[in-house]
Amino acid sequence: MTLPALVPAVRVGPRSAAVLTLASLAGLMMFVWPLLVRVEPQSMQHGPDAPFVFLGILPVLIAVVLAELSEGGMDSKALAMLGVLSAVNAALRPLGAGTGGIETVFFLLVLSGRVFGPGFGFVLGCTSLFASALLTAGVGPWLPFQMLCSAWIGMGAGLLPRRVTGRAEIAMLVGYGIVVAYVFGFLMNLWFWPFITDAEVPYHDGHISYVPGDPVLENLHRFAVFTLLTSTGGWDTGRAITNTVAILVLGPALLATLRRAARRASFHAEPTFEKR
């Protein structure tokens, strides 16, 4: 018996697609703007602009949710599922808390985005990281950047080819989990790297810190060296291993459970009333 195709928990219509696109473009600019303009490095934190970035991401998230609701893209059952999975992810994160690269928050995000679709994955990435930050006292200038990266991870999982099933699907999700582990580390380094001063290592350029006004490719080269030396071999690889093991071990059972829940929820189905 062939099971019916799953309906995305959050329908992405034209308006919500535009909001997601704009939010992603704006978020990308939050990471790369120091490479496009001349900025004097002052500190490791974003200083005065961080609170404005944090305040800016919340209206974007609210706009996404409101756009989905106004287009009929998210019903009460999808909201309930979002709340449950956000709470579970928030509870899972302290089990690793990033120690040695052990990040237990991403594998469920990947699996949920795969089952419930890109719109749901985007919102779940934001809410999961926000809830876990409140739970672990991890609120800081890095939080909006983590929320955006996680949102992209969840959305990307929902955009993976739908026809891949069985062991091939698990292999695809493992590969995706490895890639996003390194991409997450790359982007999270990029948000603060331009504000580190006088970082020097014994290689041809002499330093790996941001040089205001230098060509983009030269600064990117320094940043690549900085990332390789500080996080790729440790934090990022640990995150990739965690994602791989969790998806291999728990992926098949969790995918089946989430899909069963999605079918029973019948997202966007019209209510029926029995005549007496």
35 band by pLDDT with thresholds 50, 70 and 90: confident
Task: Choose the weakest-confidence range: 14-18, 70-74, 135-139.
Answer: 70-74
- Residue 136, pLDDT score: 74
Average pLDDT, the chain: 78
Q: State percent of the chain over pLDDT 90.
A: 22
**Predicted pLDDT of residue 19:** 76
User: Is the predicted pLDDT of residue 53 greater than 60, yes or no?
Assistant: no
The pLDDT, as a whole number, for residue 107 is 93
Distance of CA 22 to the CA centre of its chain: 16
36 versus 246: which is more confidently predicted? Answer: 246
Q: What is the pLDDT of residue 257?
A: 92
- Measured between alpha carbons, how far is 115 from 165 in angstroms, rounded to an integer? 12
Confidence of residue 179 (pLDDT cuts 50, 70, 90): very high
Contact 71, 239 (CB under 8 A): no
**3 pLDDT more than 90:** no
φ/ψ of residue 200, rounded to 5: -125, 140
Rounded to whole angstroms, how far apart are CA atoms 217 and 194? 14
Q: What distance in Å separates the CA atoms of residue 146 and residue 33, rounded to the nearest whole number?
A: 17
Q: What are the C-alpha distances in Å from 34 to residues 136, 192, 216? A: 30, 10, 10
Residue 59 has pLDDT above 70, yes or no: no
The confidence score (pLDDT) of residue 205 equals: 57
pTM over 0.75: yes
Q: What is the pLDDT of residue 197?
A: 60
Count other Cβ atoms within 10 Å, centred on residue 184: 24
Looking at residue 180, its pLDDT comes to 95
pLDDT mean over 230-239: 85
pLDDT at 141 over 90: no
Average pLDDT over residues 217-244: 86
Mean pLDDT value of segment 27-42: 69
Q: Residue 46's pLDDT is what?
A: 47
Each residue of 80-137: pLDDT tens digit? Answer: 888 899 999 888 877 765 565 678 889 999 999 999 988 888 889 888 888 888 887 6
Domains along the sequence of the chain with CATH? 14-265 (1.10.1760.20)
Q: Is the pLDDT of residue 145 over 50?
A: yes
What is d(CA 51, CA 118) in angstroms, rounded to the nearest whole number? 28
> How is the chain split among helix, strand and coil, in percent rounded to 5?
70, 0, 30
CB 158 within 8 A of CB 152: no
